[in-house]
Amino acid sequence: MTDALLTLNAGSSSLKFAVFDPHTLACLGRGGVEALGGDARLQFRPAKGEAFSDRLGRGDGDAPLAALTGALDTLGKALPGLAVRAVGHRIVHGGAELAAPVRIDDAVYAALAKLEPLAPLHQPHNLAGVRAARALFPQAAQVACFDTAFHRGHDFVADAYGLPREMYDAGLRRYGFHGLSYEYVSGRLREIAPEIAGGRVIIAHLGNGASMCALRDGRSVATTMGFSTLDGLPMGTRPGQLDPGALLYLMSASGYDAAALSELLYHRSGLKGLSGVSNDWREIEAAGTPHARDAIAYFVHRLVHEIGGLTADLGGLDALVFTGGIGEHSVSLRAAVAARLGWLGLALDESANAAAQTRISAPPSRLAAFVVPTDEERQIAEHTAKTAFA
């Protein structure tokens, strides 16, 4: 038997996973299951050999359990003899108290379940993945790795809202998210450009979920997401920054209740709502309609606006890093943002940008710019190995 470390990122309709050697952290393969609860499909790419896909079907009962069971059955044929010794889980919300990876026992699970109202789009599905893994691997260490943990330690002014202090003390504060991605990219930047990574850096994690983080010497100083995953930048289906008075208006003038507001804010807003096309950036770029162009312009505007604020928080800026699905793959988005940042001294190397090279700023640029692919699974694996086998 070969020891294995499994990482899981369970969502509402998909399950991402990766398999690592727990001793060397060499990746043995990565994959995912799409259409959970429906006609589920598995895709897997082993580190050695050809990628393959498999149709898992609907399954019975709990969708993550059915998907994980089917995925492992298929993986057993591709990577025979695996013995899962630890499972690392991406957990979106750790609250104010859970600020480091932790082994999941019944008490930790109960504490995480209480945080579901703070991240209703993610936390329940993350915990469904935990239940599935605990059922399939009762002897394996289960480790929670938090997207919020990277942002703990902010100054009070970076986390507080202008609400009565007792609300802050009760947990109504800015938490920030995408921390696993920021932690990984920050570490990679130290390898790529150590002389810059120790300075003032903004990382832009741009995908269906989007946020930015200001770092000083690799530590989070401020971030655009706040109490929930709705705040900050516009996203695939979420609005980003929004005057709360608009919500009060919808409640009083249009009869929206909490359920209707949740549906609007989590599923019908952002790039999808603005463009009238899709929440997929590639489809919006290809559409070429007036509303699609407006959505792109608004996204760029909000990015540049938030970069200005985060630069002020840092007292200047040494580097801007693009990551995430849009940040890593959209040449035009990076060019549009760079065109608005000449005042910060950013000069783009157009050929490097077109090729998505690691460094995309031109040699004379005062502000360095990079494209660094994120790898949350690798970060989860590192945390899980240290926590489970220390």
Angle between helices 244-254 and 258-267 in degrees, nearest 10: 130
Label residue 61 by pLDDT band (50, 70, 90): low
Contact 313, 222 (CB under 8 A): yes
Q: Which of 63-67, 103-107, 233-237, 379-383 is predicted least confidently?
A: 63-67
Positions annotated as catalytic residues are 147
Amino acid at 74: T
**Residue 386 C-alpha from the chain's centroid:** 22
> Residues 115, 93: contact at Cβ < 8 Å?
yes
Contact status, residue 163 vs residue 233, Cβ threshold 8 Å: no
Pairing status of strand 141-146 against strand 210-216: unpaired
As a whole number, mean pLDDT of residues 94-121 equals 92
Structure tokens at 21: 């050697």
| Per-residue tokens: 371 | 């494209």
pLDDT of residue 254: 97
Strand order in the sheet with 219-223: 219-223, 210-216, 200-206, 319-323, 368-371
- Pick from 50-59, 78-87, 154-163: least confident: 50-59
Q: Largest Cα–Cα distance in the chain?
A: 64
Confidence of residue 60 (pLDDT cuts 50, 70, 90): low
Contacts (Cβ under 8 Å, ≥6 apart) of 351: none
Please say whether the beta carbons of 236 and 270 come within 8 A: yes
The reported pLDDT for the residue numbered 58 is 60
Task: Give all domains of the chain, ordered by start, each with its CATH number.
Answer: 2-146 (3.30.420.40), 194-371 (3.30.420.40)
Q: What value does the mean pLDDT take over residues 168-172?
A: 93
Q: Which uninterrupted H or E stretch holds 120?
A: none
Which amino acid makes up residue 69? T
Spatial neighbors of 159 by CB under 8 A, at least 6 apart, are: 168, 173, 174, 175
Please report the pLDDT score of residue 295 as a whole number.
98
Q: What is the rounded distance in angstroms from the CA atom of residue 21 to the CA atom of residue 13?
A: 27
- The answer on pLDDT for 242 being more than 90 is yes
| Residues 348, 369 contacting (CB under 8 angstroms) | yes
**What value does the mean pLDDT of the chain take?**
93
What's the pTM value of the predicted model, to 2 decimals? 0.94
Which token pair is 275?
Answer: 């463009």
Residues in CB range of 381: below 8 A, 6 or more apart: 5, 7, 18, 20, 25, 27, 88
Closest among 203, 65, 178 to 128, alpha carbons compared: 65
